[in-house]
Chains A and B, each alone.
Chain A
Amino acid sequence: MRSSSSRRWQAMAGIVAIALVAAACGSGGDKSSGEKKSSGPVELTLEDHQKPRVELLRKLLPKFEQAMKAQGKQITVKLVEGPAEDGAFKSKLTLDYNSGNAPDVTSIGAADASSFAASGYLLDLTDRLNGWADWQHFYQRLRDEAVQPDGKVYYVPREATIMQLWYRQDILKAKGVSTEQPKSWQELLDRARQAKQAVGTPTLLFPAGKQWGGGTFGEGFIHLMLGTGSQLYDTQQKKWVVRSPGLTATLKFYEQLTTEGLLPVQPLLNPEPWVQPKYKDFPAGKLLIETCGTWCWFFDYGPKGSAPIKDLTKKVATWNFPTQNGDGEPFAYGATGWAWSVTEKTEHPDEAFELVKWLASGEFMAQNAVTIGAAAPRDDLADVKPYSAQPQLLEAEKQLANARSFPPPEGIDKMQQVIADATEAVISKKMTGDQAAADLANEAKQLLGPEKITEQ
């Protein structure tokens, strides 16, 4: 009798536990993709990061709401501020997307678009963009690069980033080092060697290692790789080229920088590796040549930047990136930096696209470009204030026509990881450039899968 009663209670307890677990697991319905809700007041969510960008949005978004009101639409925007650091922001966005809780509209790095799109996180904007007259004003190369391998477009460029070599012309000239455009890696190394002899510290910075995150690839490695003549991605085979003469040469260049003491290695191994070289050594005139983008005119070295340099335009000038052997013109890197995208699961796709259009045009874009230090990604902003009053940005915009770039294909996040590992192995002297190149090919094969890689 006791045994039967005990079994009954055990069964009951089991049912209660299963019900609780089922209730916990079953809660939280999934939003259907791009499903449109009935008309009426709509609150959109918009996520961005970094104080200047967020403050600008906070200041100008009421104008969007007023504009919508004038069109008879009741759309309000709730602004969500993400972590300031790019890597942390990307992590948060990724988790938000994966959990189905991403805001309607987000600022994403264009380099991440292919991964996000392949994951099914972003709304296909192709038809909407084709029906938007302003889309034709975006530079052709940026529009082309926005097209993903599936032939669709998932983002609208927010800014064009032009990256070059920045150098302290005041100090180089004072020390008798040539400030003429270096045409080959050898000429660049010669400048860096002479500069090191003059100031006694590492003088040339190409971001490297794991601590710099995606910047190792986007702010360092790719500017060398694009000057080698080797492909990193075979667009016809749709495969990553994980072993090539250019890739090996690039890693050997890092090796040379390291062995000759031209690269500030120790800071690159620390958390926030940019702080010491970019915010301390470059303004102090110890580091004399570095890779930097248009944002540096404002974010980094402008009067309100992280490390202001007085009389910046007199003290600092830019070179284009030299090619490996001096064949071909030195080049600037030009591509979409950050972009606007709509989450695939938004319940208000039309309203979200209205917001994207507003963010990607006229007054907002001109102010955005000046706030974050970017060239305009479209051809009709040169006369719009305050952008029209920024000669460095206007000059950078002109570079777009002849700039080189690397539209990141799917798998870029894994390739960034592989490059970070390889460069760290080289700068920490665990491997030579040749060894790191071989190791890179193996790691890439493991991470990307043998069907997505090739060798040249």
Chain B
Amino acid sequence: MRPVRSWRDALTLVGFLTPALALLGVFTIWPAVWAIYQSFTNKALTGFEARSPHFVGLQNYTRLLGDPDFHSSMLRTFAFVLLSAVVGQTIFAFAIAYLMAERPRWRLGFTPLFAAVFLLPLAVPEAVAALLWASTANGTQEGLLNRGLGLVGLGPVEWLQAHAFETVTVVNIWRGIPFAMVLFAAAIESIPRTTLEAGLIDGASAWQQLRRVVLPILRPQILTFLMLTTITTFGIFGLVFFLTRGGPGNATEIIGIYIYQRAFQFFEIGLGSAAGVLLLVVLLVLGAYYVWLMREQV
């Protein structure tokens, strides 16, 4: 790396960094700082608190920590992230990418066709994806899933009422597979063919090759994806809100919906901000853990 030695170097440096830093500052850092500030106030969108909010110290945080809805929402979100992102998206996407990748003694036909099919969820806007699943998982005989069950004499099942959490978990797996698949496919393609061939020559079975050769090599990419999907899944709102609005009851009230309801349905901006700040802390801890895991890689 060349040190800054002249006005020209400095101007170039500032010229390149300023736009990015300004955007980061205005749209990320400043809102976060503002949210932290608001979390210590009783700011609301209606009522007297809207006109004259004031400092309330840790009151919002103590309220959240004593709110069973907040606890259950956080636990539900952890389960949602674990099942849909960490386990579901990662395992399914890796399996699909691995099966479609060309390797010594393995080549799947019609790969471009499969790739196009699996990439479709990525091309669909979130609201459209939710509508599509609302129709697919419709609890009446007309729903696509129930039509399928009807063919074998079963159902109908009220997917979004009786099995709401399971259904939105599956929907999020479906939604997240394409991005993960592209990432894993590129990573698998980058493994030197000679490395895989060496494993085969040494007598490694397909399972041993996957476990002893491929997975260790792809550890950085897998951890990177896990970090990204953990962060984005914690922040999911639209897909679940459009499908269930957090219901039935609180069955799918993940933290994004909890925050939305407090801030924009009950108009308690201070409380919503405090919940957002706690979420930020959780994500920072998880992000730091992933970074630590990546430093541990061989």
In the assembled complex, the Cα of A446 lies from the Cα of B50 at a distance in Å of: 17
Q: Which residue of A lies closest to B269 (CB)?
A: A98
**Cβ contacts under 8 Å, B57 to chain A:** none
Measured CB to CB, the closest approach of chain A to B271, in angstroms, equals: 10
Measured CB to CB, the closest approach of chain A to B13, in angstroms, equals: 7
- A120 CB contact (under 8 Å) in B21, B51, B264: B51
A125 within 8 A of B: no
Residue pair B48, A118 in contact (C-beta under 8 Å): yes
A 262-288 binary contact with B (CB < 8 Å = 1; else 0): 000010011100000000000000000
Measured CB to CB, the closest approach of chain B to A181, in angstroms, equals: 35
Residue pair A417, B266 in contact (C-beta under 8 Å): yes
B 113-135 binary contact with A (CB < 8 Å = 1; else 0): 00000000000000000000000
Residue pair B26, A21 in contact (C-beta under 8 Å): yes
- B244 CB contact (under 8 Å) in A95, A213, A271: A271
**Cβ contacts under 8 Å, B99 to chain A:** none
**Cβ contacts under 8 Å, A6 to chain B:** 4, 10
Measured CB to CB, the closest approach of chain B to A426, in angstroms, equals: 12
Q: A115-B47, A417-B266 are in contact. Are A16 and B18 (CB under 8 A)?
A: yes
B238 within 8 A of A: no
In the assembled complex, the Cα of A98 lies from the Cα of B244 at a distance in Å of: 28
B232 within 8 A of A: no
B 95-124 binary contact with A (CB < 8 Å = 1; else 0): 000000000000000000000000000000
In the assembled complex, the Cα of A209 lies from the Cα of B266 at a distance in Å of: 15
**Cβ contacts under 8 Å, A94 to chain B:** 45-46, 264, 267
A 411-423 binary contact with B (CB < 8 Å = 1; else 0): 1011001000000
Residue pair A12, B14 in contact (C-beta under 8 Å): yes
A450 within 8 A of B: no
In the assembled complex, the Cα of A209 lies from the Cα of B45 at a distance in Å of: 23
Q: Which residue of B lies closest to A116 (CB)?
A: B46
A13 within 8 A of B: yes
Residue pair B22, A269 in contact (C-beta under 8 Å): no
A 381-414 binary contact with B (CB < 8 Å = 1; else 0): 0000000000000000000000000000011011
Residue pair B45, A98 in contact (C-beta under 8 Å): yes
B224 within 8 A of A: no
- B63 CB contact (under 8 Å) in A269, A270, A446: A446
**Cβ contacts under 8 Å, B3 to chain A:** 2
In the assembled complex, the Cα of A68 lies from the Cα of B207 at a distance in Å of: 82
Residue pair B51, A119 in contact (C-beta under 8 Å): yes
B216 within 8 A of A: no
**Cβ contacts under 8 Å, A411 to chain B:** 47
B245 within 8 A of A: yes
Q: A17-B25, A118-B48 are in contact. Are A413 and B244 (CB under 8 A)?
A: no
Residue pair B265, A91 in contact (C-beta under 8 Å): yes
B5 within 8 A of A: yes
Which range holds the interface residue count of chain B? 20 to 34
**Cβ contacts under 8 Å, A98 to chain B:** 45, 50
A 124-157 binary contact with B (CB < 8 Å = 1; else 0): 0000000000000000000000000000000000
B17 within 8 A of A: yes
B 232-276 binary contact with A (CB < 8 Å = 1; else 0): 000000000000110111000000000000001111000000000
Residue pair B244, A87 in contact (C-beta under 8 Å): no
Q: Which residue of A lies closest to B243 (CB)?
A: A271
Residue pair A95, B14 in contact (C-beta under 8 Å): no
Residue pair B247, A271 in contact (C-beta under 8 Å): yes
In the assembled complex, the Cα of A220 lies from the Cα of B63 at a distance in Å of: 28
In the assembled complex, the Cα of A112 lies from the Cα of B266 at a distance in Å of: 12
B161 within 8 A of A: yes
In the assembled complex, the Cα of A210 lies from the Cα of B14 at a distance in Å of: 52
Which A14-38 residues have C-beta < 8 A from chain B?
A: 16-17, 20-21, 24
**Cβ contacts under 8 Å, A211 to chain B:** 245, 247-248
- A2 CB contact (under 8 Å) in B5, B21, B30, B266: B5
A424 within 8 A of B: yes
**Cβ contacts under 8 Å, A12 to chain B:** 10, 14
Q: Which residue of B lies closest to A211 (CB)?
A: B247
User: By CB atoms of chain A within 10 A, which of B4, B26, B46 has the most?
Assistant: B46
A454 within 8 A of B: no
Measured CB to CB, the closest approach of chain B to A77, in angstroms, equals: 26
Residue pair B249, A424 in contact (C-beta under 8 Å): yes
Residue pair B51, A270 in contact (C-beta under 8 Å): no
Residue pair A410, B264 in contact (C-beta under 8 Å): no
Measured CB to CB, the closest approach of chain B to A25, in angstroms, equals: 8
In the assembled complex, the Cα of A16 lies from the Cα of B13 at a distance in Å of: 13
Residue pair A413, B249 in contact (C-beta under 8 Å): no
In the assembled complex, the Cα of A17 lies from the Cα of B264 at a distance in Å of: 31
In the assembled complex, the Cα of A21 lies from the Cα of B22 at a distance in Å of: 7
Residue pair B249, A410 in contact (C-beta under 8 Å): no
User: By CB atoms of chain A within 10 A, which of B63, B161, B249 has the most?
Assistant: B249
Q: Which residue of B lies closest to A24 (CB)?
A: B26
Q: A24-B26, A95-B264 are in contact. Are A119 and B249 (CB under 8 A)?
A: no
In the assembled complex, the Cα of A217 lies from the Cα of B62 at a distance in Å of: 28
Residue pair B266, A9 in contact (C-beta under 8 Å): no
**Cβ contacts under 8 Å, A121 to chain B:** 50
Measured CB to CB, the closest approach of chain A to B62, in angstroms, equals: 10
A428 within 8 A of B: yes
Residue pair B50, A120 in contact (C-beta under 8 Å): yes
A 296-335 binary contact with B (CB < 8 Å = 1; else 0): 0000000000000000000000000000000000000000
Measured CB to CB, the closest approach of chain B to A411, in angstroms, equals: 7
In the assembled complex, the Cα of A98 lies from the Cα of B265 at a distance in Å of: 14
Residue pair A9, B14 in contact (C-beta under 8 Å): yes
Q: A271-B244, A424-B249 are in contact. Are A17 and B18 (CB under 8 A)?
A: yes
Additional pairs, 13, CB under 8 Å, beyond known A6-B4, A118-B47: A9-B14, A17-B18, A21-B22, A91-B264, A91-B265, A116-B46, A211-B247, A213-B265, A266-B161, A270-B161, A271-B247, A413-B47, A424-B249
Q: Which 7 residue pairs of A and B lie closest in terms of their CB atoms, listed nearest first?
A: A269-B248, A119-B50, A115-B46, A271-B245, A9-B10, A20-B22, A120-B51
Enumerate chain B interface residues (CB-CB to A < 8 A).
Answer: 3-5, 7, 10, 13-14, 17-18, 21-22, 25-26, 30, 45-48, 50-51, 63, 160-161, 244-245, 247-249, 264-267
For this complex, 21 residue pairs linking A to B, each with C-beta atoms less than 8 Å apart, are A5-B4, A13-B17, A16-B18, A17-B18, A17-B21, A91-B264, A91-B265, A94-B264, A98-B45, A115-B46, A118-B48, A119-B45, A119-B47, A119-B48, A119-B50, A120-B50, A213-B265, A269-B248, A411-B47, A414-B266, A446-B63
